[in-house]
Chain A
Amino acid sequence: MTPPLLVAAVDTSSGWQTFLQYALIGLTNGALFALVALGYTMVYGIIELINFAHGDVFMLGSFLALALIGAMAKYLGWNWGEPAMIGLGIGLLLVVVPLFCAALNVTIDRVVYKPLRRAPKLAPLVSAIGVSFVLMNVGLLWGGAADRHFPDLVSRQSVLGETAALSFTVKDLMVVAITVPIMIALTLFVKTTRLGKAMRATAQDPLAAQLMGINVDRVIGATFALGGALAGAAAVIYGLYINTVSYQMGFQNGLYAFTAAVLGGIGNIPGAVLGGLVIGLARSLGSGYVGERWTSALVFVILIAILVFRPAGLLGSRTRDKV
């Protein structure tokens, strides 16, 4: 047993240290949520649909990544033990899986949502739940009911050195190094490119956008593709970071991600990022200080509180009904 006084001294300093460590983990996790939340928020911004299937597209993406890792080792003789090969392999996954998810998302839109564009709002929403169930069942048949282990390819060594007060692993760094550039690229895309501007215009007023010669259908398709690709990227990172995937993870993470989107102000891209970070922080601080089992309740209470005090979300602005 250490001398009492010393314990007390370490305790106060480690109080801050623990807090910072939780915050760091929270922000890293939050970046991941933000990536999924962006897909929700973009689709909602354009067609005012909560795309319940988005989380399950994400889930199927991580299943695909898992299958690809196995297949590459088996058929291409890929050596997942060698750092260079790992990097290249992850790069490859980050191309293939987002493409798959984008294609899947666009297909869902074309087959299920598109015929319902003029239907009452409840119809596409209920259909989205239906798609979510179908995809979940696909995941169940593909991966089984139990949790699957996802290969632990990235090192858990701290980049700050073993002696540093805080730990920030290579894994954490990977999450940040992939998500942050993606978010910056997305923001630039939406702000500067023609398609991005068309997306913003359509989100503002689909009818006016159509009158201005914007092909609204193409814009919607592009939005679904982009959202799907983001979910795919998130799926790869999630698998590598958390190392467990299951057919139900789409539902659970989708719920958190959508909450993040609502928190930030739905339809608002920086809002989704902010919301993701807030949720990540709340979850990690909550599990550190309140208890792991109460984190989801805590996130829910935060959501209700934000909706009460800022109904349009943290960064959202109030919209008006058209009369």
Chain B
Amino acid sequence: MTLLKLNKLIVRFGGLTAVEDVDCVVRERQIFSIIGPNGAGKTTVFNAITGIYEPSGGTIEFRGQPLRRRLSWQVLVLCVVVGLITGFGAALVSVDVNALWRAAIKRNYARPGEPFSYAAAGHDAWNYMQGTLALDRMRGNRWAVRTPDGRRTLGYAKSHDEAEQMRSRFEKLIDAAGSTTAPVERDGKWVVRDRDDTENLASFEAEADARAVLDKYATLARDPAARRRSALVALLLGIVVGSAGTWAVWSRARRTPEVISRAGIARTFQNIRLFQNMTVLENVLTGMDRGLRGGVIRMALQLPGIRQQERAARERARRLLGFVGLAGKERMLAKNLPYGDQRRLEIARALATEPQLILLDEPAAGMNPAESIELNRLIGQIRDQGLSVLLIEHHMKVVMGISDRIAVLDYGAKIAEGTPEEVRKNPKVIAAYLGSEEVS
């Protein structure tokens, strides 16, 4: 059965084409080798498969699926939630948090004789955003009319009804002061009319007095409609930017190495990338990460389930280390291992992720012949456990001996594919690669 299928894979860096139109099919329980001279693009193929590079063209399918994180409803919910958070944040900033706090919390809390209530605070916050003048009950059943944020007192009234009337008059006055209304002379007095010119709001002996009052209230007349509009714009802008940003961040992370590893492809690296300052055992345990469960709190408390799971994982890690021939070295730091052992540890770490396909990038590099033979046997054992192996190799001996199929890359293109026998006899291969280097 087909496990991995590359279809016309292309990887370009800038204008440079590293891999061009490579087709490749790896089946279950198969050892498939990619050989080719240095710079042929072998590691680039690996990097494209494991999600380190985004392919510039072509498809990579694993068990008939493209290797991508799936869009789930959680992602959409997250987008909406983040959007709402940023939107409300932006709206809060646009209505002036300081003033809102004063209007809703401080004013309520300072009110004498009344316990603080969140309902009243919410009501006042809403009124503030509407731009309504505030009414505060004073001692002795007197009432004060205040600016929406409660900072300035405009006047006092003896009863609630009177206060309501006063508020409505002040609101009209402020409205008029903010518009283009000018005082007009009526019967020897200067009066300020409301915006629609239907009612006298105040009258003064001199024009200067009327103008002074208008000027005084003009500073309060920030058009409530405009403020609502700007709060709404901030809210919508925040929602759009927040959710689009979440979407942008998520969609960039759709094809990460982690997704591909979880799908069942593990790999090693040409220039060894172990966790140098961790012990051998910890390296393997890190490979098992995705198989382990438990939230932060359970881990912090080391609940019995976690301990048991950890013990089982350690046991499995020891078995894996024994399998690759590193038994007894669990406690050494990875960087203190000899070179060949480091390569074996990388294999153990990759196997710990429980893959179906393992990608080995020049595992025999730097090994002596005896170690090479040992490695061959290990690769064979891995296949016997039911895994497929995709191998990049320079050592022709390794490849010819164990591969089921071989593909040859040269200058980023596949020039031949077949069984070891077929490849060995292929004239193109001999010309491009074998002829110039080592012929076995």
Contacts and interface: CB of A to CB of B under 8 A. Distances in A.
Contact of A323 (B47, B241, B249): B47
A8 B181 CA distance: 12
Contacts of A84: none
Contact of A8 (B47, B180, B211, B270): B180
Given A4-B182, A309-B245, A323 B13 contact: no
Q: Chain B CB within 10 Å — which of A4, A308, A323 has the most?
A: A323
A308 B245 contact: yes
Contacts of A1: 211, 215
Contacts of B244: 309
B248 A308 contact: yes
Interface string A2-40: 001100100000000000000000000000000000000
Contacts of B215: 1
B269 interface: yes
B120 interface: no
Contacts of A5: 180
Interface in B2-39: 13
A321 B52 contact: yes
Nearest to B208: A1
Q: Chain A CB within 10 Å — which of B13, B43, B47 has the most?
A: B47
B182 A305 contact: no
Given A1-B211, A4-B182, A323 B52 contact: yes
A308 B251 CA distance: 11
Interface in B238-254: 241, 244-245, 248-249, 252
What band does the interface of chain B fall in when counting residues whose beta carbon is under 8 Å from A?
10 to 19
B372 to A, nearest CB: 23
Interface string B136-163: 0000000000000000000000000000
B241 A305 contact: yes
B116 interface: no
A309 B211 contact: no
Contacts of A4: 180-182
A5 B181 CA distance: 10
B275 interface: no
B424 to A, nearest CB: 30
Contacts of B53: 320
Interface in A271-323: 294, 305, 308-309, 311, 320-321, 323
Contacts of A294: 93
Nearest to B182: A4
A1 B183 CA distance: 12
B52 A305 contact: no
Nearest to B179: A4
B249 A308 contact: yes
A305 B245 CA distance: 8
Contacts of A321: 52
Nearest to A322: B271
Contact of B43 (A309, A311, A320, A323): A323
Contacts of A323: 43, 47, 52, 269-270
A309 B182 contact: no
A253 B406 CA distance: 59
Nearest to B273: A323
A311 B249 CA distance: 9
Nearest to B96: A291
Contacts of B211: 1
Interface in B408-440: none
Contact of A320 (B13, B93, B270): B13
Interface string A228-239: 000000000000
A306 to B, nearest CB: 11
Contacts of A320: 13, 52-53
Interface in B212-249: 215, 241, 244-245, 248-249
Contacts of B269: 323
A110 B13 CA distance: 35
A294 B92 CA distance: 14
Nearest to A3: B182
A308 B83 CA distance: 14
Interface string A161-179: 0000000000000000000
A46 to B, nearest CB: 20
Nearest to B50: A323
B139 to A, nearest CB: 37
Interface in A49-70: none
A305 B240 CA distance: 12
A253 to B, nearest CB: 25
A295 B117 CA distance: 35
Interface string B180-191: 111000000000
A122 to B, nearest CB: 13
Contacts of B13: 320
Contacts of B181: 4
Nearest to A294: B93
A24 to B, nearest CB: 25
Contacts of B245: 305, 308-309
10 contacts: A305-B241, A308-B245, A308-B248, A308-B249, A309-B244, A309-B248, A320-B53, A323-B43, A323-B47, A323-B270
Interface of A: 1, 4-5, 8, 294, 305, 308-309, 311, 320-321, 323
Given A320-B13, A320-B52, A323-B269, 20 more contacts: A1-B211, A1-B215, A4-B180, A4-B181, A4-B182, A5-B180, A8-B180, A294-B93, A305-B241, A305-B245, A308-B248, A309-B244, A309-B245, A309-B248, A311-B252, A320-B53, A321-B52, A323-B43, A323-B47, A323-B52
Top-8 shortest CB links A-B: A4-B180, A308-B245, A323-B47, A309-B248, A323-B52, A1-B211, A308-B248, A308-B249
